[in-house]
Every structure is written in structure tokens, then in C-alpha cells.
Amino acid sequence: MSKDRQRDEDESARTVLAHQLAYLREQSGKSLAQLAEDTAYNRSYLHRLETGERLSQLPAMQKLDEVYETGGLLERLWKLARQEAFKDRYKLFMQYEAKASIMHKYMCAVPGLLQTEDYARVVLSSGPGLNDEEELEENVSARIGRQDLLRREPSPHLRVILDESALRRPTDDRKIWHDQLARLIEAQDSPQIVVQVLPFGSGVHDLMGGSLSLLWMPDGSSVAYLEGNKSGELVEDSEEFASYRLSYDRLRDLALSPPKSVSFIEQVMEEGTS
């Protein structure tokens, strides 16, 4: 990381963590070679942590906390830096999504692009960190506002493979849940939108536990975005993208056809009102 870039990012948790790592080693009087011996991590890796080129995995921070006797400080800074990095990647992903001409998604939750306003409000209010009603409404407006990209001209082609787990987590309010399921069915009236359900009976697959978005730009370029619980990875490498596309194609083979998916969702709706 260049000195100019470091100056630009002085307020970032990642930079604070990197500076703290360098400071602690300097105060300890250890060389990189000695630290590598104490932690079982190689010198070049430790150096990249101190310059901010790498963010590391949690075990590395836990080991360094142990070596420097910092009482979990480095782990706490790492968690802040990791969340910060996730937000940056997600922001870039949304920029790509806003320009995409084709979007293929595998989701374990109802995607924001197909959420009703009431359902979005329930989902967003379930998370920690919201300070007041005004902030909640701003977040709801931002999420629903993203749906404008489905109405642009020309509108993008959207295919969603929706894991059955998304259909088995109803809201407490039956009407909100009914309207959300109805929205998933109505979405398929658009020739640009396809929703397929991946039932539990399809078995295990290599995308379990996360979500995947494949985006194609009008110029033919493509990116993938993998999202887990409070983490995300943007993939721009063409070979990696091809691998995730193959995983997606295999899931599509396992999913119900669009007409059978509509019937499946209708059945879930009936179960919720019986």
C-alpha cells in the first residue's frame, strides 16, 4: 500500500489495525523473523498485515493478541476492519448491479429487488444498530429505491433461484407475508424476470450457507458477488467467475421449473392462511 493511499485512508479501521500491528512489534523489539517464529506465520504475510495489504483471518489476530498480550484489542480492530471492507465491496457491487444487463442470483433470503416495502421494513428492523424510526425508514426507502433498476429501459434480465429456506421464514404478520409471496408470483408476469425455487429435496450443493450474484454488463464484462453472514467477496477474475457460473448452472438444473415454482409458492401461501 502506498504512503499516499495510507494518508487517504487514515480514518479507516483497516489502517488503524495495520499501524497498531507495526507499533506493537516495534515496541516489543521483535524482528519479523522473530515474530514469524512466535506465531508460525511467515514473514512476508506478517509484513503485509503491518502495511495493510492483507486483512488476515481471525486466527492470525488471536495469535498476535496472545503474543503481544493485548487482551483481544487486535481481534476487536480486525472485526471493525472486516465489516468496513464488506461495506466497501458491497457498495462497488451495487454500482455494478445498477449497470448490469443480465443478473443471475441464488438467494437464501428474499432478494431486496423483489421485496415489498412492508416486508423490507420487517427485515431491516430485525437487525441491530438502528437508532430510531427515521433511520429505519431511510433504509427501507433505499432498499425499495434500488428496484427502480428493474424498470429502466432497457430493463435487465433477472433470474433468481430462491432456496426453500427463504419461503419457510414467515413474518409474524400474516398479511405482510402473504403479500410478499404474492409479489414473488407477480414478478414472473414480467418477461424479464424468472423465479425458481430450489427445494430442500434437491440435496446438498457447493453454494449452501451463502448467496451468489452473477452480473453481466452491456459491454460483455462480468462479475460475481458472494455474500455470507456479514461478509462479502467481489469476484472480477474471469476464471473464478466461470467457476461460480458453473455452480449456478448446476443449481438451476436442480431447481423447480418456473411454473412449478409458482405452484410451490402458492402452496406455501395456502399453508400460511390455513
Quote the CA–CA distance of 227 and 92 in Å, as a whole number.
13
Same domain, 109 and 46: no
Same domain, 186 and 157: yes
- Give the CATH number of the domain where residue 74 resides: 1.10.260.40
Residue 112 DSSP one-character state: G
Q: If we measure between CA atoms, which residue out of 125, 117, 126 comes closest to residue 180? A: 117
Quote the CA–CA distance of 69 and 241 in Å, as a whole number.
41
- Tell the residue number behind the cell numbers 430510531, with chain if given: 132
Identify whether the C-beta of residue 65 lies closer than 8 Å to the C-beta of residue 73.
yes
Residue 162 DSSP one-character state: E
Same domain, 52 and 163: no
Owning domain of residue 218: 100-114+149-273
Same domain, 177 and 269: yes
Tens digit of pLDDT at every position of the chain (274 positions): 344 444 344 468 889 999 999 999 999 999 999 999 999 999 998 998 999 887 777 888 999 999 999 999 999 998 888 767 657 777 888 889 999 999 999 999 999 999 999 999 999 998 766 657 877 887 888 888 889 899 988 999 999 999 999 999 999 999 999 999 999 999 999 999 999 999 999 999 999 988 999 999 999 999 999 987 656 788 989 999 999 999 999 999 999 999 999 999 999 999 977 6
Q: Determine, yes or no, domain membership for 223.
A: yes
- Left (φ > 0), alpha (ψ -120 to 50) or beta: where does 107 sit? beta
Total number of domains in the chain: 2
